[in-house]
Each structure stands twice: as C-alpha cells, then as structure tokens.
Amino acid sequence: MAIDKRKVVYQIYPKSFKDTTGSGTGDLNGVTEKLPYLKELGIDMIWLNPFYPSPQRDNGYDVADYTAVNPDFGTMADFEAMVARGKELGIDFMLDMVLNHCSTDHEWFQKALAGDEYYQDFFILRDEPTDWVSKFGGNAWAPFGDTGKYYLHLFDVTQADLNWRNPRVREELFKVVKFWQDKGVKGFRFDVINLIGKDEVLEDCPINDGKPAYTDRPITHDYLHELNQASFGQDDSFMTVGEMSATTVENCILYTAPEREELSMAFNFHHLKVDYQDGQKWTIMDFDFEALRSLFHTWGVGMSEGNGWNALFYNNHDQPRALNRFVDIKRFRNEGATMLAASIHLSRGTPYIYMGEEIGMIDPDYDSMADYVDVESLNAYQIMLDEGKTPEEAFKIIQAKSRDNSRIPMQWDASDNAGFTTGTPWLKAGKSYKEINVAKEKEGVIFTFYQDLIKLRKELPIIAEGDYQAAFSTHDKVYAFERFLNDDKLLVLNNFFAEDVELDIPEPYQGGQVLISNYDTASIGERLTLQPYQTLAILGQ
C-alpha cells in the first residue's frame, strides 16, 4: 500500500469556505466554484471536514447520518458534481470519517434509547460510570435515558462512543466507508481513530483523566487492519490519515508502516502544545522553541527509521492560526508564514495546508465572547470564570486559544464579509480581511512561495522520498534538518525568531545550490547569517 509521497493535501472547513446561496453557511457548490483557485495553488487532494446531517453541537463531528449530505451544504448531486469537477482538474477528495462516536440524534442511538437491545450493544453502556473525564470537560458518562445505565461520551454529551468490540458495529462502519469510496472519494481522514479500542473491562483510571484506559490500545491496530482489508486497502492509490490523540512514535510507526496495512499516515498534535502552560490548553505563554524543535526531531527521526509516515501540519480547524502562535506578525508576517511553510513542506511526510494558510491568514481578533460560537470555547470560558479568573483574563485566553480562530470565513476579497457570503455569516469574519485576502495575496509573497514548495516536492525525489536526520539539534533559535536519498543531500535551515542568527555551514553544503529561500541569499560560504524568520534549503555538493 505505497502512497504517492509527492502529493500535498488542502483542508477545507466547508462551513467557512464559500457560500453560494446567501445562507451565511459555506456549501459544496462553493468548493466546486473555487477548485480552479486550488488547481492554481498546485494541491492534489482536498480534505473536507464533515458535511453530513448533524445537530451541529460539535460543528458536524456529531454525525446523525453517515451516508447523506446536510441540506445546509447542498445535495448529494452537488457532492457528485464537485467530485467530477475535481477529477477534471486532477484534484481528489478526502472525507472526514467520525467513527469513534455518533450523534445521539443518530437512528442507532435513538433505537437503543427506545429499548432495542440490538442497538444498545452499538454503544458503551455500564451500570456504574468510571472516573474518566470528557475531553470537553466534565464527566465522560451520562445517564442512558431512564434505564439506570450510563453511556460513554469521550466528547460532547451528544456524541455517544460506538462499541467497536461489537462486530456488527464494525460491519456497519465499514459499509459507510465503502459507500463514499463508491462515490469516487480517494482518501479518508479518520477522526480520533486511536480511541476506538476501549478495554473490555472499563475501570477507573485517575491518571491523565483516564486517557491511558482508551488511547492506543493494542486492539486498535487489529480494527484498523480489518477496516483496511474490508475497504480502501484494495486500492493502491488511496490515501488515509488517522488523527491520533495523545499518541506515541512507536504506535504511529505501527499505524503507518506499509507492510502492516493499517493507514497511510498519522497526525499527531504534540508540537501544537508547546504554548500550553503545564500542559493546559486554556493558558497563555510564549511557545517553547526547544520543545518544538525536539518534538520535530523525535518524530522526524523516529518515523524515518521505523518506516512510518507523518502527516505534516501547523494549522487545522481545531487550532488557532500558527502565525499568531509562532511569529511576530506585526513585523514579519510574510517571512514567518513562508518559513513555517518550508519547515514542513521540505520535511519527510505529507504536507497539509489549511484554508487561508497559503495567504497568511491570522486570528480574527474578536471583541467579545458574543462573537464566539464554539462549544469548547464557551464551556472553557465558564470554567475559567468558575475558577476565579476575571472576565477580562478569561476572554484574553479564549482570544488566543479558541477553535473559532481557524473557523472564521475564508478571506476571498475586501468586500463585505470577506467575499465569503452575501448574507450574514454563521461566524463573523476576522478583522484583517481588507488587508489579507486572496484577491490581494495571489500575486504576493506567501501564495507564490507555497506554489514553489509544492512544485519542488513533485520535482525532487529527495523531498518526497528522502530520509530525515536532525541538524543543529541543540541550537536555541534554529530548527534544521537534513534529507538524504542515495547520494543526494539537502540541508534545511529555519530561523524561528525575529533576529539574525550566525551559523557555521557544514562542509558538504559550502558552495551548495540554494534550492529555495524567503530572502535573497546568493552564495553559501563557511559562515552564514540567517535573517529574521529566514528559511533556506541548500543542496549539498
């Protein structure tokens, strides 16, 4: 199951991409309309966040029907037209599969609640709840109607975990995957897929809110192999990625090593917790560069040596914009955006671009809690107030960490609502759209740099296929790595700070060819000054 390592994926949050009806919600026809723009960027595949029928308690990750289109996003005919147009342009689609849990509105849960024992075994029901904590805060168990039992919900109370130990559940979920495969889809992103293998006997686990009791359990590998063999594993061109919550290098090698026939690649999130004070998301601190550098090297080297494959990213629908987190955007937005891009696009793994990243979009800078809609943010705000923070302190943290930061409308132009909708957007546009938008940025520094990076991955096997080794691994300002393929070698230098850095260049790269840089750099001598947020890739002699 060898994937094409030259491919680049673009993530679209459909609700916020382009609205063609004036409803204020993005739709599938909006994606179709903008496919030529994405063709120009150079991407190969689009990952779409969920567009299935859903009460939208968790922005579509609470699925009420796995094989239909939410009318807010259009029709199945719109979906089929979008896939067909993509095929014409050489762009495939990857769908989000939320198979760890479903909405309590789903027919399966409703039948279970009505007393159907067949469907009650689709869920994880217990007489006594454990001490596990929901990832959205509070108890991970809720009363199952008036039966005296409790059902497990690792996320929102309306998201009931599915019982993968029941073979009939697996059979039903595999049918869902096959349904979309038959519609011409060529990829799947599996949401929190390393949580599906709960222990048979569920016990209290006070460590880390109970996570060790349900994360990366050995049986998960068996389930993924079974899923692979029952569906996408029969198609060599298929691309799959697992979102892995609180995972390890060792497990991700197992999930992604081709001979194991589980998944093509894995997302991990450790590098996006380097600005969490004491590991807590709802805090504010400067990012810890040494932790970031160390994590990149640990995963880069580990996955390279173990023949696993990383999905590489800084931004997605659950994260604040990386530019706000890692870069002095007031002075160096262009340089910071291009450096961050090169630091993953030139690395070993498949790069993912989140919509708007290619034009340097930033957080919305909202004025009040009334602007936020995300359930996690609203819950966190209340919890922080209950813990004694002032409204001002709590709001400042929400501003920095809310998932709504990335879910704001795509900034197409400087017209009202950033050209996203003619109606009232479901989530307010960010303040920056008049200055930062596609119309203005398409000929600009960031967009064209992304185009160049995507071309390089397609043209140079060392970028797509080469091994990864750490370089300058103790430097306090520079994240650097080398790539090796046969006799070729490439050194990539990334200055993560707003100041000049002096470096001694290793001998094989002195006089080497500058492959790409976000500053004018002529020749490479024995010593080099990296400018603020400079990225520089040098082909060795």
Catalytic residue among 191, 335, 358, 376: 191
Pairing outcome for strands 159-161 and 350-354? unpaired
Asked whether the beta carbons of 5 and 397 are under 8 A apart, the reply is no
Residue where the block lists tokens 């130990």? 165
Catalytic residue among 19, 78, 243, 262: 243
With helix as H, strand as E and coil as C, how does 202-233 read? CCCCCHHHHHHHCCCCCHHHHHHHHHHHHCHH
Distances (CA, A) of 390 to 36, 200, 282: 47, 43, 14
Report the distance separating Cα 458 and Cα 300, nearest Å: 20
Report the distance separating Cα 523 and Cα 168, nearest Å: 63
Cβ atoms < 10 Å from Cβ of 525: 9
Report the distance separating Cα 452 and Cα 304, nearest Å: 25
Would residue 243 show up in a list of annotated catalytic residues for this protein? yes
Asked whether the beta carbons of 10 and 451 are under 8 A apart, the reply is no
Asked whether the beta carbons of 119 and 195 are under 8 A apart, the reply is no
Among 341, 520, 355, 370, CA closest to 448: 341
Q: Which amino acid is at 358?
A: E
Token pair listed for 436: 């930062």
Report the distance separating Cα 47 and Cα 30, nearest Å: 15
HSE toward the beta carbon, residue 78, CA cutoff 13 A: 18
Q: Outline where DSSP puts E strands in 14-56.
A: 45-48
Asked whether the beta carbons of 425 and 17 are under 8 A apart, the reply is no
Would residue 392 show up in a list of annotated catalytic residues for this protein? no
Token pair listed for 433: 């759209």
Phi–psi pair at 315, nearest 5 degrees = -120, 145
Catalytic annotation, residues: 191, 243
